[in-house]
């Protein structure tokens, strides 16, 4: 199996098509490379989905603006801080603050305030990743200065034509603007993450191979990608008949993770929650395919049923610590351990800044 060699589009497409024994080998070699280069520790981030208010209308997403069935919420500052305290006290090392996309001054100020308070409550020791969509360069800078050091912004697909099949074609959903946002994030100094959905209608294996080359070209530090999963109250529901079977989407997602690990050995790759919507062991299987980050959901339980991006999204246990204990047990079974009390930053980020 090639290791961190320069794979071209056709090599990557071939790898994404392997089955059977070749599939097992691909996943095992990615895990081996991860263990060899990064050690066997898996990092946790406590995920707080702090608001589902969204100004966008992405055709695939259950919390899109036009879905009137969703009860909109904002987790209160106190509740967000209590979740952060729980993460900190239990050694998670860092949190991810995720929300629908909103860029009102009140929202920007609120996130800024939360960042400062989280830093304060943990004596600067809790790491913070943001995942709040496209914002202005000024907002990105402001949040960076207030303590966020990593930012996730999925490109969703790097193919412009496909992008407009899954988003409205208007100013609010501009492909170019999204690319620019990724550029601003990097330029501001964030460890920058991106990702795609796998198994979208109209998406080919070559599109996915192109996505992996895109990540390499823009030199991401982190990646989160998972299977596309249907949601009945979205426009893409009408394309259900075009989809690959769920199992195939799931296996394709594992192959994407494995091949990306071979292409970019020192980035952080998350085992996304959507994998668990298809297979109860989804995220652990992703760790066994080369992922090194898992994001247990620590959003207060009462809000979770209103953050259903797709059907079957696991809403977890009322008892966050029980969820984490189970995860830890499963991760041990595949020979890895959890790296507690660490930020678990992407090695790639520091290496490239050394050059």
Applying CB under 6 A, which residues contact ligand 5AD? 60-61, 154, 156, 197, 226, 228-229, 231, 274, 309-310
Q: How far is the CB of 61 from ligand 5AD (least distance, A)?
A: 4
Q: How far is the CB of 268 from ligand 5AD (least distance, A)?
A: 16
Nearer to ligand 5AD, 284 or 295 (CB): 295
Q: How far is the CB of 51 from ligand 5AD (least distance, A)?
A: 13
Q: Which residue is nearest to ligand 5AD (CB)?
A: 310
Q: How far is the CB of 10 from ligand 5AD (least distance, A)?
A: 26
Nearer to ligand 5AD, 43 or 60 (CB): 60
SS3 per-residue string spanning the chain: CCCCCCCCHHHHHHHHCCCHHHHHHHHHHHHHHHHHHHCCEEEECEEEEEECCCCCCCCCCCCCCCCCCCCCCECCHHHHHHHHHHHHHCCCCEEEEEECCCCCHHHHHHHHHHHHHHHHHCCCCCEEEEECCCCCHHHHHHHHHCCCCEEECCCECCCHHHHHHHCCCCHHHCHHHHHHHHHHHHHHCCEEEECEEECCCCCCHHHHHHHHHHHHHHCCCEEEEEECCCCCCCHHHHHHHHCCCHHHHHHHHHHHHHHHHHHCCCCEEEECHHHHHCCCCHHHHHHCCCCCEECCECCCHHHHHHCCCCCCCCCCCCCHHHHHHHHHHHHHHCCCEECCCCCCCCHHHHHHHHC
Nearer to ligand 5AD, 34 or 178 (CB): 178
Nearer to ligand 5AD, 228 or 343 (CB): 228
Q: How far is the CB of 310 from ligand 5AD (least distance, A)?
A: 4
Nearer to ligand 5AD, 60 or 151 (CB): 60
Spatial separation of the C-alpha atoms in residues 47 and 50, rounded to whole Å? 9
Nearer to ligand 5AD, 47 or 289 (CB): 47
Q: How far is the CB of 71 from ligand 5AD (least distance, A)?
A: 18
Nearer to ligand 5AD, 38 or 289 (CB): 289
Q: How far is the CB of 24 from ligand 5AD (least distance, A)?
A: 25
């Amino acid at each position: 199996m090639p290791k961190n060699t320069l794979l071209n589009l056709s090599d990557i497409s071939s790898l994404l098509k392997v089955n059977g024994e070749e599939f097992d080998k691909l996943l095992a070699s990615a895990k081996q490379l991860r263990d060899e280069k990064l050690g066997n520790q898996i990092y946790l981030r406590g995920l707080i989905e702090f608001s589902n208010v969204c100004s966008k209308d992405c055709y695939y997403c259950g919390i899109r603006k036009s879905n009137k069935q969703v009860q909109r919420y904002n987790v209160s500052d106190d509740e967000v801080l209590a979740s952060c305290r729980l993460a900190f006290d239990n050694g998670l090392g860092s949190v991810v603050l995720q929300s629908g996309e909103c860029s009102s001054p009140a929202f920007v100020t609120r996130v800024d305030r939360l960042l400062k308070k989280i830093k304060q409550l943990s004596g600067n020791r809790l790491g913070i990743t943001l995942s709040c969509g496209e914002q202005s360069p000024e907002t990105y800078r402001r949040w960076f200065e207030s303590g966020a050091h990593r930012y996730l912004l999925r490109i969703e697909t790097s193919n412009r034509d496909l992008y407009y099949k899954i988003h409205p074609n208007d100013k609010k959903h501009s492909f170019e603007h999204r690319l620019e946002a990724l550029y601003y994030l990097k330029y501001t100094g964030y460890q920058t993450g991106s990702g795609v959905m796998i198994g979208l209608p109209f998406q080919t294996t070559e599109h996915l191979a192109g996505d992996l080359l895109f990540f390499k070209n823009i030199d991401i530090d982190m990646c989160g990608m998972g299977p596309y999963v249907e949601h009945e109250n979205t426009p893409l529901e009408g394309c259900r008949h075009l989809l690959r079977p769920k199992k195939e989407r799931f296996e394709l997602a594992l192959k994407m993770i494995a091949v990306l690990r071979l292409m970019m050995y020192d980035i952080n790759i998350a085992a996304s929650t959507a994998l668990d919507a298809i297979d109860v062991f989804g995220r652990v299987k992703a760790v066994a395919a080369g992922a090194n980050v898992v994001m247990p959901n620590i959003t207060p339980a009462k809000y979770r049923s209103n953050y259903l991006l797709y059907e079957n999204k696991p809403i977890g246990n009322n008892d966050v610590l029980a969820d984490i204990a189970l995860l830890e047990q499963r991760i041990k079974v595949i020979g890895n351990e959890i790296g507690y009390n660490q930020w678990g930053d992407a090695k790639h980020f520091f290496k490239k800044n050394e050059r």
